[in-house]
Amino acid sequence: MATNTNVLVIGSGPTGLGAAARLHQLERKFGSNLPPYLLVDAAPEAGGLACTDVTAEGFLFDLGGHVIFSHFDFFDGLIDKACGTDTWNTHQRVSYVWMKNRWIPYPFQNNISCLDVDDQVKCLTGLVEAKTLTSTATSKPANFAEWIDRVMGPGINDLFMRPYNFKVWAYPTSEMQCSWLGERVATADVTKAITNVLNNTVAGGWGPNAVFRFPKEGGTGGIWKNVASKCVPQDRQRYNSKVVGIDVKGKKVEFSDGSTCSYTSLLSTMPLDVTLRMVGASLGEPSLSQCNTWASALRYSSTHVIGLGIRGVNPHDTKCWLYYPEDDCPFYRCTVFSHYAEGNCPPPDAVLPSLRRADPSLPFDSSPLPGPYWSLMLEVSESSSHKPVDSKTILEETIRGCISTTLLPPDAEIVSTYHRRIEHGYPTPHVNRDGVLEGALPFLKSHDIWSRGRFGSWKYEVANQDHSTMLGVEAVDNILFGAREFTLNYCSLVNERGKKYTDMKYD
């Protein structure tokens, strides 16, 4: 079967749905004068990397620690149109770092007053050294490791930044560049740090997600299902359609079932390395070698998402997400997912059998019993070159880590488990990344291919859900009108702290 369209959008995550919603908004404005469009996805339903899975027992788990906060009026209007304005919980972020058997308020670098005196001295000495080093530096940091040393010093680097970031990225900080940082990493103020230590006080919240929203029902994936059903016509969406090839010269996409779709402009949210290999194979030499070189230079980590459904009352109060830099557990982050919404767990009167105790050596009664229930969602990174993970054992390793970090008591009743491995989890801001993007993205665009999104444009600094949505929206405006793609090209300006962009709205 062969179809054709003007704008073909590959992928129904936030970027693809942002693009399709913008196309429908313009279609309502311009009517039949707007060229036709189509959104396709390999999955059976919308969501992409922002989807939510449900276990057999009724526990919801996102593909990672997603929360809703926004830099854009358009994004706010889109999800409120799709979900309504009274379907959200609003939370104050409560986050901690678990280190040396204690909770340290996040961000760590602003709360070294909570450390032992010896570690306080190391951190403060390092901060003073860093301030001196920064004032005399004549060049920019060569990589993330050097940036940390210049901004925070060796004390904070050794205690937290280096081990934690390796657990997150599965790459050493010396292999990562530092232009991506922006809102992602809090800097350290030596004066405030000394004042907090002397006064034995802690710093307040930091960052754009200090207050965030979360759906009362359906998890993060429910947001994007609603966008797909309410903001994009159903006849402009096609699922279970896996792209296996791109005929660049013929401007045609090939699907796994043998069907094809011709296009004038292609907006792809597939991982950039995958798109480049398809394009290279279509064009042949010399483009094949160049595309493969670009694709091979890109680095990413895979993510294991582990979910645990537990019978009982959540013992962690209002904690939201928690960080783990040490090697007493395999995960780098834990989210108390039941805290976000009651709908993330089965109702208290649901009758479920116990699967096990957290400590498998302890006896348990498998007789079905009612709740209440609560849940944890944990993330483990993997890279083949630096940090391998055994998928067969990671669930058990994670549960043991929950006991060793006091997330679970040994006798906790586990009633549901979940494990999903995501091949493309984090787009690594590797030291070679920008050189690849400067060549690859314009090359693809010269062939009428806009590669956009968390992995499509490979820019982690604009990879939140609001950013990703706007990457799709702005790509559509660039395709149709030649408009500037602000989010893609001006990441630092987009992420200026506290700024909200009101120039474009969804209605």
pLDDT over threshold 90, residue 257 = yes
- Among residues 169, 199, 229, the one where a domain terminates is 199
Model confidence over 445-502: pLDDT tens digits?
999 999 999 999 999 999 999 999 999 999 999 999 999 999 999 998 888 866 888 8
Are residues 312 and 408 located together in one domain of the fold? yes
Are residues 305 and 397 located together in one domain of the fold? yes
- Domains identified in the chain, total number: 3
Q: Give the pLDDT score at 207.
A: 57
- Among residues 170, 199, 228, the one where a domain terminates is 199
- Domain membership of residue 447 (yes or no) is yes
- Domain membership of residue 293 (yes or no) is yes
Are residues 461 and 369 located together in one domain of the fold? no
Contact between residue 498 and residue 462 where contact means Cβ atoms under 8 Å apart: no
Q: Give the pLDDT score at 183.
A: 47
- Domain membership of residue 416 (yes or no) is yes
Q: What is the CA radius of gyration of the chain?
A: 24
- Domain membership of residue 505 (yes or no) is no
pLDDT over threshold 70, residue 402 = yes
Are residues 80 and 180 located together in one domain of the fold? no
Q: Give the pLDDT score at 353.
A: 98
Tell me which residue range forms the domain holding 151: 109-199
Q: Give the pLDDT score at 400.
A: 98
**CA angle (429, 435, 438) in 5-degree steps:** 105
Are residues 287 and 308 located together in one domain of the fold? no
Are residues 415 and 434 located together in one domain of the fold? no
- Domain membership of residue 58 (yes or no) is no
Are residues 281 and 394 located together in one domain of the fold? no
Q: Give the pLDDT score at 73.
A: 95
- Domain membership of residue 206 (yes or no) is no
Are residues 311 and 420 located together in one domain of the fold? yes
Residue 496: Cβ-neighbour burial (10 angstroms; 0-12, 13-18, 19+): exposed
Contact between residue 402 and residue 316 where contact means Cβ atoms under 8 Å apart: no
Model confidence over 298-315: pLDDT tens digits?
999 999 999 999 999 999
Residue 20: Cβ-neighbour burial (10 angstroms; 0-12, 13-18, 19+): buried
pTM as predicted: 0.94
Are residues 388 and 452 located together in one domain of the fold? no
pLDDT over threshold 90, residue 103 = yes
Are residues 411 and 458 located together in one domain of the fold? no
* Mean pLDDT score of the chain: 93
Are residues 321 and 399 located together in one domain of the fold? yes
Band the pLDDT of 136: cuts 50, 70, 90. confident
Q: Give the pLDDT score at 233.
A: 96
CATH code, 467 = 3.50.50.60
Contact between residue 380 and residue 306 where contact means Cβ atoms under 8 Å apart: yes
Are residues 330 and 421 located together in one domain of the fold? yes
Q: Give the pLDDT score at 206.
A: 54
- Among residues 427, 457, 475, the one where a domain terminates is 427
